[in-house]
Amino acid sequence: MFDQVKKVQKELDKAIVTTTTELETFRIKFISKKSLITGLFKLFKTVPSDQKKAFGEALNELKKEANRKFQFLAAHLEASTAFSSESPDVLLPSIPFQIGGLHPINIVKNRMIEIFERQGFNVSEGPEMEDDWHNFTALNFPENHPAREMQDTYFLEKYPDKLLRTHTSTVQIRLMEHGKPPFRSIMPGRVYRNEAISARAHCFFHQVEGLYIDRNVGFKDLKNSIYHFSREFFGKETEIRFRPSYFPFTEPSAEVDISCFICKKKGCKICKNSGWVEIGGSGMVDPNVLKNCGIDSKEFSGFAFGMGIERIAMLKYEIDDIRLFSENDVRFLRQFNGL
Ligand code: PHE
């Protein structure tokens, strides 16, 4: 008798359950009315009376243990199936790691640098907080020039003789007064102007300045440089055009236009039906500027140009609002990832 109890006990100890079907098999085998344990209870009447007590106790203990194990297995199975249905499939590829992208201003700036570097230009930088000499006086601005007035220039309250540079031409001066010609440099950077903010204008934006000073540098070299840049940046069919203009620091001066690469000169919204779009200002460095920097204008000459990075980016990517560049809206910025 007791051997049979021990045998069932052993089977109970060994029983493992990993699915609900196996749990049901366990229930039938050890708990149900047809279970092995119920079968053992039926043997009770055949047990000699002096052993009935011990046999009854052993059976009751076995029954309790079977019930305990059943409860435990059922709870365990429920917990593990709940976990496995909620936990991720470990074989799925992981969520891609989101890396940031370059800001469109930097994309355009880097591309411009790359193109001009191949023409032999190096990169120079200067401070954003400047003085009157570098921003105006050395650049041959007459004393009463309207660009010096308060509405264009941010002067600093704390340092009355300092201002936020209104253009990157300041770096031309810094370069020339600290070095010796030849110079062949491009100067990217941020500039500030006290302008009403709109879709077309902002109180800060970015420019790339270019300066080439050497013996016998002429207007043809300026044209060549701009022509090469425009074709590289906007496409091989791009034409350029120089319109006479005025800057205090260049003589002669010219605005630079490129043929509209959107409509191929047929006329569209971007070029306002003119077939041409402006990309910057340029000219031959005024001898007064060279003199202000201690350079002999009889021996050396050169050209300078300045282009707005936002303007070029807006043309290239057909962006119609300059404010988008400084609003940090990822829906805008994300579109330039991978460019
Ligand atoms: N500094 C001028 C501007 O900001 C652009 C320019 C640069 C013009 C160099 C001529 C030569 O408008």
pLDDT confidence of residue 89: 74
Q: What is the pLDDT of residue 262?
A: 86
Ligand 1 atom closest to residue 210's alpha carbon, by position in its atom list: 9
- pLDDT of res. 87: 66
pLDDT at 85: 58
What are the boundaries of each domain within the chain?
2-85, 104-127+165-336
Question: 98 to each of 30, 92, 101, 269, 331, how far by Cα in Å?
Answer: 55, 17, 9, 36, 14
Q: Which two three-digit tokens encode residue 303? A: 């050209």
Nearest residue CA, atom 12 of ligand 1? 281
Q: Which two tokens stand for residue 335?
A: 């579109």
pTM over 0.75: no
Name the residue with the closest Cα to ligand 1, atom 5.
Answer: 306
Four-residue CA torsion sign, 168, 170, 174, 175: positive
**Phi, psi at 16, each rounded to 5°:** -120, 140
What pLDDT, on the 0 to 100 scale, is given for residue 148? 79
Protein fold of 104-127+165-336:
BirA Bifunctional Protein; domain 2 (3.30.930)
Atom of ligand 1 nearest to the CA of 306: 7
Tell me, what's the pLDDT at 216? 97
Q: What is the pLDDT of residue 126?
A: 97
Mean pLDDT by groups of 10 residues along the chain of 339 residues: 89 91 94 93 88 91 94 87 67 80 96 98 98 96 81 90 96 97 98 94 97 98 98 95 96 96 88 93 98 98 98 94 95 86
| Protein residues whose CB sits closer than 6 Å to any atom of ligand 1 | 167, 169, 209, 247, 250, 281-283, 304-306
Q: How far, in Å, from the CA of 253 to the mean position of ligand 1?
A: 9
Cα dihedral 103/104/107/108 (nearest 10): -140
How many angstroms does the Cα of residue 305 sit away from the middle of ligand 1? 6
Q: Which is nearest to 189 in space by CA: 130, 246, 247, 230?
A: 130
Beta strands at 129-131 and 162-164: parallel, antiparallel or unpaired = antiparallel
